[in-house]
Amino acid sequence: MYLIETENNVGFLTASYIKNRVKSFVSTKNKPYFVLALPTGGTAIDLYKYLVKFCQEGLSFDKVVTFNLDEYAGLPENHPESYHSFMAKNLFDHIKISKEQINILNGNASNLETECKNYEEKIKNYGGIDLFIGGIGQNGHIAFNEPGSAFDSKTHVADLTSNTIAANARFFDGDISQVPTRALTMGLGTIMTAKEVIIMATGAKKSHALYHAFEDKQNTNWPITVLQKHPRTFIVADKAAAAEISKTTKQNCGLCSFIN
């Protein structure tokens, strides 16, 4: 796991990384599409702003399929705070991409377990995730893998913790009772199969979770620590988010190359 501490915009750096990977992808008969896993949330808004800009400047998503990390259970797809709506509003309505290239879990499926199983299968059939982009929760969650989630979990139905419900209330007029309590999410095991992982973190609220990411031993209380054993994970953090990480860690991480 590598730390990329930056004074630049975290969304811009991450969008630039995606651009480079998509541009250099060579489509073959066996692997026709670049598989990109995409997040929602406040941190992702900047990322999509730049990705839209790059697409307007000529970046093509013709050979890309996307899989969103998660979706609330039971929230109507057209609800303004559903992740379907978020993705349309922030990315898909502004770039050239067909419906068939977009995959988002259906939180209103008649059988949620089957929906999760099929999603996992579909990712596999596309040859697995090439690049996973995620945010991080204050409690160290990735997607909706809350503290206590199994490190080998696949796409599943998850209960949200009170911490996450409180953090997401800002998207529901500050009303905790409006926030769904369950979600469908890729599992930590799903994420670990991705060839590359980028986790974006901005602001002081994320500094404690990043402290655990880098300074703690692997443990399920801090789901982010699963990535310590992933061979190509980059945590892209601004100064405030990286504030609790030790000097030693920062020096060691300074050696890695990011945008290449």
- Contact positions vs ligand PGA (CB under 6 A): 41-43, 135-137
Q: Can you tell me which residue has the tokens 């509003």? A: 89
> What is the closest distance, in whole angstroms, from the C-beta atom of residue 117 to ligand PGA in the complex?
23
Token duo for residue 235: 């945590």
> What is the closest distance, in whole angstroms, from the C-beta atom of residue 105 to ligand PGA in the complex?
15
Please state, in angstroms and rounded to a whole number, the distance separating the CA atoms of residues 15 and 98: 20
Evaluate whether 233 touches 1 at the Cβ level (below 8 Å): yes
> What is the closest distance, in whole angstroms, from the C-beta atom of residue 41 to ligand PGA in the complex?
3
> What is the closest distance, in whole angstroms, from the C-beta atom of residue 183 to ligand PGA in the complex?
11
Q: 118: how many CB neighbours lie within 10 A of its CB?
A: 15
User: SS3 breakdown of the chain: % helix, strand, coil, rounded to 5?
Assistant: 40, 20, 45
> What is the closest distance, in whole angstroms, from the C-beta atom of residue 219 to ligand PGA in the complex?
19
118 vs 181 by CB, closer to ligand PGA: 181
> What is the closest distance, in whole angstroms, from the C-beta atom of residue 87 to ligand PGA in the complex?
14
118 vs 161 by CB, closer to ligand PGA: 161
How do beta strands 70-72 and 64-68 pair? unpaired
41 vs 187 by CB, closer to ligand PGA: 41
3-state SS, residue 72: strand
Listed in sequence order, the residues at least 6 apart from 162 whose beta carbon sits closer than 8 Å to its beta carbon are none
Number of C-alpha atoms within 13 angstroms, CB side, residue 247? 0
107 vs 137 by CB, closer to ligand PGA: 137
16 vs 161 by CB, closer to ligand PGA: 161
Q: 51: how many CB neighbours lie within 10 A of its CB?
A: 27
Helix (H) or strand (E) holding 120: helix 112-125
42 vs 254 by CB, closer to ligand PGA: 42
135 vs 187 by CB, closer to ligand PGA: 135
Q: Can you tell me which residue has the tokens 């609800």? A: 79
> What is the closest distance, in whole angstroms, from the C-beta atom of residue 125 to ligand PGA in the complex?
26
Residue 210, classified by CB atoms within 10 Å of its CB into exposed (0-12), middle (13-18) or buried (19+), is: buried
